[in-house]
Amino acid sequence: MSDRTFRIGPIRPPSEANSLLIQVTNGCTWNKCKFCQLYRHTKFKAYSADSIRADIDNIAYWAERVRKYERKGVSAFAWDIEGINAELSNMTDADEQQCMYTVANWLVGGGENVFLQDGNSTALSSGRLTDVLVYLRQVFPQIKRITSYGRAENLSRSTAEDFAELKAAGLDRIHSGFESGSDAVLKRINKGVTQEQQIRAGKAIKNGGIELSIYFMPGVGGKDLSADNAEGTAEVINAVNPDFVRVRTAAVKPGTELYQDWQDGAFELCSDDDKVREIRRVIELAGAKQDAPQITTYLVSDHMINLLQSVEGYIAQGGSNTTDDRERMLGLIDRYLDMPEADRRVFQLLRRTLRAYDLGDMERLGAPERDALRAEVMKENELGWNVRMNGYICRYV
């Protein structure tokens, strides 16, 4: 590998698709969640401040090379893309080519956001993370937002003052895979965190001035804990008021411990309808309690594995312009749940095979095709159908 390359980790949230990725850690400090196999074969490593600074310097080197192709003063098509592509195709070192491509992509896309990888970057000592943030902003003053993943248990050990320091150094948003707010579900999936720790971490992050984006996994608790999963998650939202809740439909993937639990009979798959009902319950309960703080959380559906992609908007108490979002989201869910079972299954099939985006796409089906599909999907019993849908979902995670 040449001296001019930098590390690029594998995982980032979809919302960071245009962000520059800087790997400050490798792997995950926990590595034991039963549904996850992302870093199973990776030993956790936190890189030294010097090594991360060297990566930032190399990114700056490639940024300078890419900026030769900037057409200053030209508002539209402000980059000589052909020139960049020509230089890229003449490069003989594949690693360097990848680095230049990554930086060019970032700069051409605006060069505004950075995501610090991997699974738990906030496990870096706060001093080291602060150094990295300060240096990054010094080298690239145009950066508008820096975000990172953090594990809730780890985050719960820091105070609001600690987060305020990170905010002052330049960290704007923390993504955290809470998955569920139910202690029973968290235990079942071996998340290694409790609801109380999630709430403590969430409050400290928000009080420290950092945005919080949490992930919710409908269906991850299994059928018997489906209601718990929704209710516990709504409790966390009510206590913390996270900025974002991102829906990640549970996938029970071969090779994971959760899959083994299912095979052993210790876990029962939720249907797509169960998962949709969980989302409905969260929207219903968030902000519903009299003593809950004003909830301004935005529910995001930014992954193709979610069945109802259009269920997205503010989960908020009544009395503001966000009320419309709740009514619209609940209306969409009810429109789906009120359909006959055969139509719900047809929609699931179309969605899981990327032939439909939302319910309106069903209407484009001609009557003969719809009738044929209805007959086909109803041939399977409930278990067989849920297994088939889980198989489709697993292809995308």
Cβ 152 to ligand SF4, closest distance in Å?
A: 9
Query: Could you tell me the smallest distance in angstroms from the CB atom of residue 32 to ligand SF4?
Result: 6
3-state secondary structure 23-80: ECEECCCCCCCCCCCCCCCCCCEECCHHHHHHHHHHHHHHHHHHHCCECCCCCCCCEC
9 forms part of the interface with ligand SF4 (CB under 6 A): no
- Considering only residues 238 through 267, tell me which ones interact with ligand SF4, judged by CB under 6 A: none
- When binding is defined by CB under 6 A, the residue of 119, 202, 218, 219 that contacts ligand SF4 is 119
CA distance 349 to 342: 11
> CA-to-CA distance for 312 and 334, rounded, in angstroms?
14
At closest approach, how far in Å is the CB of 127 from ligand SF4? Answer: 23
- The residue (of 119 and 221) whose beta carbon lies closer to ligand SF4 is 119
Q: With binding defined as CB under 6 A, does residue 329 bind ligand SF4?
A: no
CB within 8 Å of 144: residues ≥ 6 apart: 112, 113
Closest to ligand SF4 by CB, 36 vs 282, is: 36
Q: Which parts of 161-180 interact with ligand SF4 (CB under 6 A)?
A: 177
Nearest distance in Å: CB 30, ligand SF4: 5
Query: CB of residue 77 vs ligand SF4: minimum separation in angstroms?
Result: 40
Binding mask 176-205 for ligand SF4 (x = CB under 6 A): -x----------------------------
Place of tokens 């411990």: 257
Nearer CB in complex with ligand SF4: 44/61: 44
145-164 residues near ligand SF4, rule: CB under 6 A: 151
CB nearer to ligand SF4: pick between 100 and 258:
258
Residues from 364 through 393 that contact ligand SF4 (CB under 6 A) = none
Nearest Cα residue to 278 out of 208, 216, 211, 226: 226
Site membership for ligand SF4, residue 39 (CB under 6 A):
yes
Q: 14 to 33, contacts with ligand SF4 by CB under 6 A? A: 28, 30-33
Q: Which x/- pattern, by CB under 6 A, does the window 76-115 give for ligand SF4?
A: ----------------------------------------
Q: Does 208 bind ligand SF4 (CB under 6 A)?
A: no
CB-wise, 4 or 303, nearer to ligand SF4? 303
- Figure out which of the listed residues 8, 15, 38, 44 binds ligand SF4, where binding follows CB under 6 A: 38
Quick one: 91 or 397, whose CB is closer to ligand SF4?
397
Q: How far is the CB of 43 from ligand SF4 (least distance, A)?
A: 13
Do residues 146 and 113 make contact, with C-beta atoms less than 8 angstroms apart?
A: yes
Taking the C-alpha atoms of residue 281 and residue 230, their distance in angstroms, rounded to an integer, is: 6
Closer residue to ligand SF4, CB minimum distance, 42 or 126? 42
CA distance 201 to 163: 10
Instruction: Count residues binding ligand SF4 (CB under 6 A).
Output: 11
Q: Please, which residue, 177 or 232, has the CB nearer to ligand SF4?
A: 177
Q: Is the Cβ–Cβ distance between 351 and 340 less than 8 Å? A: no
Q: How far is the CB of 190 from ligand SF4 (least distance, A)?
A: 9
Least distance in Å: CB of 136 to ligand SF4?
Answer: 23
Q: Name the residue nearer to ligand SF4 (CB basis): 195 or 322.
A: 195
The Cα 173–Cα 116 span in angstroms is 11
Residues 6+ apart with CB under 8 A from 289: 238
Min dist. Cβ of residue 246 to ligand SF4 (A): 13
Interface residues toward ligand SF4, by CB under 6 A: 28, 30-33, 36, 38-39, 119, 151, 177
